[in-house]
Structure 1
Amino acid sequence: MNFDDLLTAEFLGPRRANYYQLHLAARAGDTDQLQTLIASGHHNLERQHFSHGTPLHAAVYFDQVGAARLLISNGANIEARAPDAYGRPRDTPLTLAARIGHAAVAKLLWDAGARRRVQTDQGLIIPLELAAFGGFSGLVRDLLAWEEDGWSTDALEGALLDAASRWQGEAVKVLLESTKFDQDILSMALVEAAGPKRELPDEIHGAPYVEMDSVAQRQLLQVLLGAGADIEYTHPGKGACAVHSAASDPVAIEGMRTLIEKGANVDAQDARGSTPLHIAVSFRKRQGLITLKNDDTVRLLVQSGASPAIPNGQGETPMDIAARLGPLSFVQLLLDHGADPLAADRNGETALHRAAEGDHEDIVSLLLSLGADVNKASSTGWKPLMYAISSNSIFPTRLSLVSLLLERGADARAASAEGWTALHRAADTGPLFRDSSSSSNADDAAAVVELLLAHGADVGAQAVTPAYGTRQRLAGPRLKAVMVELAKSKREGVIINGQTPLHWAAENGIIPVLETLLRHGADPLAKDGAGATPADRALSSPKTGYTAEQKEVVVELLSGARRV
């Protein structure tokens, strides 16, 4: 409910009407009634509405200059704070007037000596910056004129950056007409203006956009470039150029188009080594039940010559990201514009590894048709099949993807440098599958184990693993990095060797997976490097939700297999 509705619905309620009579009179601009109420001496000028401040704030909000003048002349506190959406003191009457663009009442408060800078727990708020952010160009011009000693450099620069971040072109023009800004500030404003609009704290679904916004953004960028902004400038706080900001959201497509037309480098790398294409391909935003992607920006960038092969700081190319995140249309677009489907990164991994990791069967199929090596090993021995096995409690492995890779010749016995196999990963199915409501997922996990064993997976393969923490986020270079750090620590017991798939399955307690492994000859008496059997691992498992009763069932299952 907005302020107007609250004043109407709550202040006029039978239990509140008497309590907020000054607010109601101020809202209506009824100066006669207001004077009568004040003269009675029964009404407090400083009474705060729980969310909308004093009667003077109400007069400001509804632009009732006469009511505001009367309240001020009768001693209303011009520095009183109205609460923000979270109940924290924020706006004085002047900052509220600047925030909503009410120039006449702002002038009244200015002449009454209201403070120009207000310190809150959330930071400093300045009327000039608020008016600029709101796009109230007339009020911005007034505030510049009213301050006889001139605004501080910080306030002027803050106003320019705020206006640019909200795509307020007219406010930016007013500021540029009155002030000579350094090129760095102009360039920072360009980076702000190139991205999506900055939202207000209460705009929980993001800043609103209207049909003419794309035109406004284009014009704003042209104004800033015309004023001397450097199109290749790297924002010190963001570590990015304007093209990176424009790539960060599909709403900024016109900003990207403008920058490209003005000669921006479409392969510029930010502080993380990412190009605009990395950023655009990675973009995902939930909107209701739909996930938005940055299709138009990706297409514009590649058509403008952006390279799909530049690695970022983590060694990933835009092609790698597209293969991991999808969709197929992005991968095909990058291939059509020169991406190499067989290229390996610094770890020896290819787009096929990434597509398998992302569970994109359609992309895997396409890459295989283009000659991708189904058994391509990374520098630490990781192959696409290992990545295709998701030891994840939320997103189970897709059986059809594993089947596709195996049908195309994937080696089910392959092991990484740490001894991890696809079977280990399949046995490490997450704890959510223990719940009876997830029995179908548990059966699916067991089906993956069965399929791997049918293709020759080694049921007794032994792996080296960290003793603590989750394995489910470890794979490839991430696993190598963790193992190296643990080895450097020289602490005893932080690394365990000799763990079989059955050890991992017992630690998770997924009965169908355990039964499948045992049926294929998994040894329930096998001891790992710490001397623990699968039953020991079940009993000591720290997995969330793995109850003592469930552990006893697993131990009994393993004991029965041992007796056989």
Structure 2
Amino acid sequence: MDSTQSTAVTTSNSTSSLVYISRRILDDIKHSRNSDIKRHAIYPEERALTLPIEEAIIYAIQMINSDAVHRLIELCGRTRINFRYTDSRGRRFIHHAAESGSATLIRVFLTSGPLNVQDADGWTPLLRAADRGHTQVIEILSQESSVNMPKTPRPEIMSALHLAVRGRHCDCVDALLARGACPDMLAGGGETPLHLAVESGCLHCALAVLERGADPRCVDVYGQTPLHLAAKRDNVTMADCLLNAGAEPCARDTNGKSPLHQAILNDRWVMADYLLAQPGVDVNSADHQGVRPLHLVIIRCAGSSGMLLANAGQAASASAATSTAAAPTIEAARIELLEKLLAQGADVNALTDEAGESPLSLAVTSGSEALVRLLLANGASVLSADKNGASPLHRANLLTTSSRNSILSALIEHGCDVNSCDKFGYSPISKCVFQL
């Protein structure tokens, strides 16, 4: 056999081997349980003959088959392979290797191009590894490139630390911080890794970024601090961690709401109790609508969605629609919290800004005799009126619940004016007759 024939046989054998490996890879993918791999492996078997070598390598990486990757590179020769090849999603070999979690594969492609190259979604290999929780890959990549987010025209892209924290990948978080990841870097929505640690409920991640200097008073685009988020989730352990690190218990978001507001709005009664016990907490803190924690507790007792009722007519229809009583344990928790607010100096006659509603007006609207009598016993004025001039008696007269008469009696016992008129000239009695 001459040299020409020998070369032809070698080439033929290499091509046959390549086709065989390509077919095997496609067959493995076809029977894979990994839906992500199968979704991108929709080639008919006969296309194995024309499968680009780069695509074959990508599929081998996705199968975490380093032997197949090495064999394909060996058979084709490095000069015949485009190591900067991008697939339909703009991903290179290094992106797929990072997502696979294989340290062996990452090392194969470390020198194949820039390590901070972004795919079509704006993600770098490091971001892919952090999102999947591949600590070893992160350690390898971070030796060759920065762990902090490169400048990108897409502000919604998070940093590797954000992604690791969001996924509760504690080892990855530790590795990134050890390699200089910025603990206060902002994502597109203004969230810091600490915000995401609280949202995911990962105490380890929260402590890790705090130990590296994360600011517990940082705010997102809504003005919410991590403590606001902890209050929404009833995570007292997380809240305690934040307060010990210097979080402000009375911080206000862009709507003027404090963590205590958020705890009450989300029925987080354990959290509300915890916050009330903190030094310096302001029980009379009002949001931008003049709504205070005391108003919110009563609104929640009424089964309200949190929207303030603008006038007595709206109050009556809403009361009829939401007259179903809350579960006894929940109602008891709300009343207990209300008592604590009053004991700590909550203003029992404070008015909201938009509708001018007092706690007593809201309690009457709720149809809860227990709330009404509790407020009256703590100095609530029966003469207060909302911005339409409607007194608590006007509202009580419009109730359709079984507690109507007992609430009317309670108001009369405390000296309400039965002849007072609202701004439309209606007294409680004439208003009732008009409704009939």
TM-score range, shorter chain: 0.5 to 0.7
Cα distance per residue 1:106-141 (max 9 Å; x no partner): 9x9588525559xxxxxxxx6554443443333344
Matched, 1:321 2:203: no
Q: Give the residue type in structure 1 aligned to 2:180.
A: G
Structure 2: distance between partners of 1:530 and 1:367: 41
Tell me which amino acid in the other structure corresponds to 2:220.
N
The within-5 A match list for 1:523-534 is none
CA–CA separation in structure 2 for the residues paired with 1:95 and 1:309: 48
Q: Deviations over 1:299-326 (max 9, x none)?
A: 2222222111111111111122223333
- By how many angstroms is 1:518 displaced? 3.7
Q: What is the Cα deviation at residue 190 of structure 1?
A: 1.4
Give the CA deviation at 1:93: 5.0
Deviation at 1:260, TM superposition (A): 0.8
By percentage of residues, which structure has more strand?
Answer: 1
Structure 1 324/145 Cα, relative in aligned 2: closer, same or farther at 3 Å?
Answer: same
C-alpha separation in 2, matches of 1:280 and 1:320: 13
Residue 504 of structure 1 and its aligned partner are, at CA, apart by 8.3
Q: 2:401 matched to 1:511?
A: yes
* Alpha-carbon distance between aligned partners in 2 of 1:153 and 1:362, rounded to the nearest angstrom: 53
Residue 86 of structure 2 corresponds to 154
- CA separation of 1:362/1:150 partners in 2, compared to 1, >3 Å: closer, same or farther? closer
Q: Would the aligned equivalents of 1:328 and 1:362 in 2 still touch at CA under 8 Å? A: yes
Match of 2:157 in 1: 239
Q: Which residue of 2 aligns with 1:175?
A: 109
The answer to whether structure 1 residue 354 and structure 2 residue 288 are counterparts is: no
- Provide the TM-score with structure 1 as the length reference: 0.53
Q: Choose the corresponding residue for 2:351, options 391, 404, 415.
A: 415
CA distance in 1, matches of 2:59, 2:394: 61
Uncovered stretches (5+) of structure 2, i.e. residues with no partner: 1-18, 306-321
Amino acid at match of 2:106: V
Cα distance, 1:174–1:182 mapped onto 2, change above 3 Å: closer
Match in the other structure for 1:185? 118
Give the letter aligned to residue 140 of structure 2. Answer: V
TM alignment of 1:96-175, pairs within 5 A? 96=30, 112-113=48-49, 115=51, 128-142=57-71, 148=80, 150=82, 153-155=85-87, 157-175=91-109
Q: 1:449 to 1:258 in 2, by over 3 A?
A: farther
| Distance change >3 Å, CA 166–CA 447, structure 1 → 2 | farther
Structure 1 residue 524 displacement after superposition: 11
Give the number of equivalent residue pairs. 365
| Deviation of 1:525 (Å) | 11
What are the within-5 Å matches in structure 2 for residues 343-492 of structure 1?
Answer: 343-345=251-253, 348-358=256-266, 359-389=268-298, 390=300, 391-392=304-305, 398-418=334-354, 419-423=356-360, 425-426=362-363, 446-457=369-380
Q: Is the 8 A contact 1:94 1:127 kept in 2?
A: no
Cα distance change, pair 383–185 in 1 and its aligned pair in 2 (3 A)? same
Counterpart residue type for residue 175 of structure 2: T
The amino acid that maps onto 2:139 is Q
Q: Is the 8 A contact 1:246 1:256 kept in 2?
A: yes
In the TM superposition, residue 353 of structure 1 has moved relative to its aligned partner by 3.1
Q: Please list the CA deviations of residues 164-213 of structure 1 after superposition, one character each: whole Å capped at 9, or x if unmatched.
A: 34534333333335x2135233972212222345xxxxxxxxxxxxxxxx
- Which residue of 251, 257, 275 corresponds with 2:174? 257
Where does 1:282-297 land on structure 2 (aligned, <5 Å)? 282-283=199-200, 293-297=201-205
Distance 1:329 1:109, change over 3 A: same
Q: Is the 8 A contact 2:85 2:93 kept in 1?
A: no
How far apart, CA to CA, are the structure 2 residues paired with 1:226 and 1:256?
Answer: 16
Matched with 2:238 is 330
Distance in 2 separating the partners of 1:144 and 1:417: 72
Give the counterpart letter for 1:137 in structure 2.
S
Q: Distance in 2 between matches of 1:529 and 1:134?
A: 75
**1:329-381 alpha-carbon deviations (Å, 9 max, x no partner):** 22221122122334445555433333443433455455444122222334442
Amino acid of the structure 2 residue aligned with 1:181: P
Match of 2:145 in 1: 228
Any idea what SS the aligned residue of 2:284 has? coil
Name the amino acid aligned to 2:130.
A
Closer, same or farther: CA 346–97 of 1 in aligned 2, 3 Å: closer
Alignment of 1:212-227 (within 5 A): 217-227=134-144
One-letter code aligned to 2:282 = D
Change (3 A) 1:165 1:514: farther
Give, in whole Å, the separation in 2 of the partners of 1:526 and 1:113: 91
Is the CA contact (8 Å cut-off) linking 2:155 and 2:188 kept in structure 1? Answer: no
Q: d(CA) in 2 for partners of 1:116 and 1:534?
A: 84
Question: Residue 190 and residue 423 in structure 1: after superposition, are their counterparts in 2 closer, same or farther (change >3 A)?
Answer: farther
CA 520–171 in structure 1, closer or farther in 2 if over 3 Å, else same: farther
**2-structure distance, mates of 1:247, 1:112:** 40
1:410-448 superposed Cα distances (whole Å, 9 cap, x missing partner): 12221121124444555666xxxxxxxxxxxx9xx5533
Change (3 A) 1:307 1:255: same
- Determine whether 1:301 maps to 2:234: no
Change (3 A) 1:512 1:258: farther
Compared with structure 1, are the counterparts of its residues 523 and 113 closer, same or farther at alpha carbon in structure 2 (3 Å cutoff)? farther
Can you give the 5+ residue segments of structure 1 that lack an aligned partner in the other structure? 1-67, 70-77, 79-90, 118-125, 198-216, 284-292, 430-441, 465-496, 538-557
Question: Relative to structure 1, is the Cα distance of residues 237 and 503 closer, same or farther in structure 2, using a 3 angstrom cutoff?
Answer: farther
State the partner residue of 2:3.
Answer: none
- Sequence identity of aligned pairs in percent? 25
Residue 257 of structure 1 aligns to which amino acid in structure 2?
D
Aligned to 1:17: none
Cα distance in 1 for residues equivalent to 2:423 and 2:242: 47
Query: Does residue 312 in structure 1 map to residue 220 in structure 2?
Result: yes
